[in-house]
Amino acid sequence: MSSRRPKSSGDLGSCELEASPRLWVVARPRFDLASAEALLDSEGLSWRVGEGATEAENLIEMGGRLCYLSFGERQSPKSNREYIRHLIVHGHESVLEHASWSFVLMGVSRGFSHQLVRHRAGFSFSQLSQQYVDHRTGPMVMPQLVQRVPAAADRWEAAVENSREAYRELLRLLKEEGADLPPREKLRAIRSAARTLLPEGAETKILFTANARSLRHFLATRGSVEGDEEMRQVSALLLVLLQREAPSVFADFKVEELADGLPVVRLRSQGG
Ligand SMILES: Cc1cc2nc3c(=O)[nH]c(=O)nc-3n(C[C@H](O)[C@H](O)[C@H](O)COP(=O)(O)OP(=O)(O)OC[C@H]3O[C@@H](n4cnc5c(N)ncnc54)[C@H](O)[C@@H]3O)c2cc1C
């Protein structure tokens, strides 16, 4: 996933041209097993908790078991992985909504983030502002497709620098406007006008929180759209993290590599 072309050494200040996606988990479910056992005990129930499940997986399993009171003698010998697989296969997926994670994603384009935020169910977003944050410099996301064709990369760089120069020029030309507004609103007005010149390749940063069900839907819908390289890259980063966080929940997805050297995320049941 690294760039194949040296970074630009042109006179672009701190304008980095080849940002690539980076993803971190910054919050994850905590499951209070002692509490769960105490409350079950108060109902005369017990739960044989399987070994090795993560807190997210235990939370989901407890949600499922509570629906049927399948504790104590009613507990089937299924492992956590089998139990969660059973929930998914039988469409009892609302239980997956109890586990959610928060991620910070950087090095992606505004164009990409516009697609990401279309996911409404079970997702929450906090994204870098183009009104409060100056964009005269900063990273840009050059598509890998463009990086592979030197003439296209040169054209792309020139176009990006033109639009950023126009952005800077507009900030200068508008700096006396909005004198009747409070200073903060004046700046917002000027940046709002100038941002219309920023390319879709402008790098953005976004913190998002999503639950296991919505993440599965995202991976299934977006991970294998072969012509969407940025979406494929982010989906693969996401899956690698999620298979550490809750392997039972995401075991039916796999990462493959296509001929362009970039990953694709598929359901194991999918061909290709
Ligand atoms: C290949 C591809 C091409 C696309 N092209 C375009 C495009 O050209 N233009 C465009 O605008 N978008 C496009 N999209 C985005 C797409 O239409 C969805 O907005 C996006 O994928 C989010 O999917 P979703 O609505 O299923 O997800 P979510 O919003 O997370 O919803 C998850 C699920 O919840 C249910 N749901 C959510 N909201 C409602 C509701 N209001 N009513 C009923 N059920 C609901 C649905 O079952 C839905 O699948 C494209 C997506 C893909 C994968």
Q: Distance from the CA of 119 to the center of ligand 1, in angstroms?
A: 6
Question: Is 222 assigned a catalytic role?
Answer: yes
Which residue's CA is the closest to the ligand 1 atom numbered 14?
Answer: 115
Q: Ligand 1 pocket test: which of 94, 125, 221 has the largest number of ligand atoms within 8 Å of its C-beta?
A: 221
How big is the chain by its Cα radius of gyration, in Å?
23
Atom of ligand 1 nearest to the CA of 121: 30
Tell me the average confidence (pLDDT) per consecutive run of 10 residues in the chain, 272 residues long.
Answer: 39 56 98 96 94 96 96 89 96 98 98 98 98 93 96 97 96 94 94 97 98 98 98 98 98 97 93 56
Which residue's CA is the closest to the ligand 1 atom numbered 1?
Answer: 225
DSSP 132-148: TS--SS--BB--HHHHT
Cβ-contact 208, 102 below 8 angstroms: yes
Cβ-contact 103, 24 below 8 angstroms: yes
What is the value of pTM for the model shown?
Answer: 0.93
Atom of ligand 1 nearest to the CA of 120: 29
Catalytic-role residue among 195, 213, 216, 222: 222
Cβ-contact 247, 50 below 8 angstroms: no
Tell me, using a 6 A CB cutoff, whether residue 224 lines ligand 1: no
DSSP 30-97: ---HHHHHHHHHHTT----PPTT--HHHHHHHHHHHHHHT--GGG--S--HHHHHHHHHHTT-GGGGG
Distances (CA, A) of 193 to 15, 165, 172: 21, 14, 12
